[in-house]
Structure 1
Amino acid sequence: MPTSRNLIQRLLKGQSFREWFVEFLRFCTVGLGSYIVDVGLFNLLAHTGWVHLPGDASMVAKTISVSISVVFSWAVNRAWTFRDKGTYGRGREFAMFVLVNIGGMLIALACLAASRYGLGLRSQFADNISANVVGLILGTAFRYVMYRYVVFSPGARRVAQGSGIASEH
């Protein structure tokens, strides 16, 4: 039966607590940067009048801002937060990263749907609490675990090398 010490060692994946904590702080910093890119670009595109977007400007602006913030997040996480982690290769890693971010978005949408349709809470305040507080916290936890143990996992590099697939690094 595994002890709590063994469990902690498995979760740390060979890192000291300090190394893990630095990695986690970097992840949070990149997340804050991605949030600023997303919200800032959205407001710049949708509400300043500097750019004229086709169709529903807010919807188009949000699509563009989220897409750019995901690319920003992947690049900075790859170069800084998880720089020492092996990968399947950059293209496959990026595809996995995008899928994980879609999962994080679906978590936020599920929280919003539960609030609106399950609990009948339809105010702007309720929407913001469910999607942008609860959904953001749960989605961020999901993304961190998936980035650490799947997308940027050193084990991914060993699997790729063992199967004869060249790993870019």
Structure 2
Amino acid sequence: MSEPGALRTRLVLLGREVAKFGVVGGLGVLVNLLVFNLVRQTTELPMVRASMIATAVAIAFNYLGFRYFTYRDREQSGRTKEMSLFLLFSLVGMVIENGVLYAATYGLGWDGPLASNFFKFFGIGLGTLFRFWSYRTWVFRALPAKEAVQTAESFLERTEPAPPRQSRRRQPDHV
């Protein structure tokens, strides 16, 4: 494949990955904001605690979406390691997300419903940039090319072989 063709293929694949990440992430944002506002309206919890609960629910939702939709074609061995790394990077994203909300609420005194949702959403955006990079780099890693070929070959070896072909004898031209 030519260099421009290879680059184009990589860009198309990256575009698909970003789109799938966006679908799961977008639904995760909705889950996060819905739970955040539900907890805020039904409990007396402080804003950042309510936000952390909402973020934790969204993290669980997102893991399922990323593993079984966005990155379903990625390496699946070592599920414990994968989940541990996912939780680690998700917690860092949670700190980024809720750090923005904390700074706006307690540092700047902007704690009204509109301001809290704006800064919650802004924090989610910053956390998402970090999560996208870390998940694709460390958690849901692409199979190396050699392993991908071996996986495909092992799959082909497991299928039943086709029945043997009957050889066709060539008849002599003069009979």
The TM-score normalised by the length of structure 2 is 0.61
Whether the 8 Å CA contact 1:87–1:151 is kept in 2: the answer is: no
Whether the 8 Å CA contact 2:28–2:62 is kept in 1: the answer is: yes
Structure-2 residue corresponding to 1:165? none
Paired with 1:58 and 1:123, the residues of 2 have a C-alpha distance of 11
Whether 2:61 is the aligned partner of 1:67: answer no
Question: Are residues 60 and 110 of structure 1, via their aligned partners in 2, closer, same or farther at CA, if it must alter by over 3 Å?
Answer: closer
Paired with 1:112 and 1:36, the residues of 2 have a C-alpha distance of 17
Number of equivalent positions? 141
Q: Secondary structure at the match of 1:16?
A: helix
| AA at the equivalent of 2:91 | I
How far is 1:64 from its partner?
4.2
Specify every segment of 5 or more residues in structure 2 that has no aligned partner in the other structure, as ranges: 147-175
Where do 1:10-159 residues align within 5 Å?
Answer: 16-47=10-41, 56=45, 62-112=51-101, 121-124=108-111, 131-133=120-122, 135-154=123-142
Paired with 1:37 and 1:136, the residues of 2 have a C-alpha distance of 12
How far is 1:60 from its partner?
6.8
| AA at the equivalent of 2:24 | V
Paired with 2:101 and 2:63, the residues of 1 have a C-alpha distance of 25
The TM-score normalised by the length of structure 1 is 0.63
Deviation digits for residues 94-116 of structure 1 (CA, Å, limit 9, x no counterpart): 12111111111222344456667
How far is 1:78 from its partner?
0.5
| AA at the equivalent of 2:26 | L
Specify every segment of 5 or more residues in structure 1 that has no aligned partner in the other structure, as ranges: 159-169
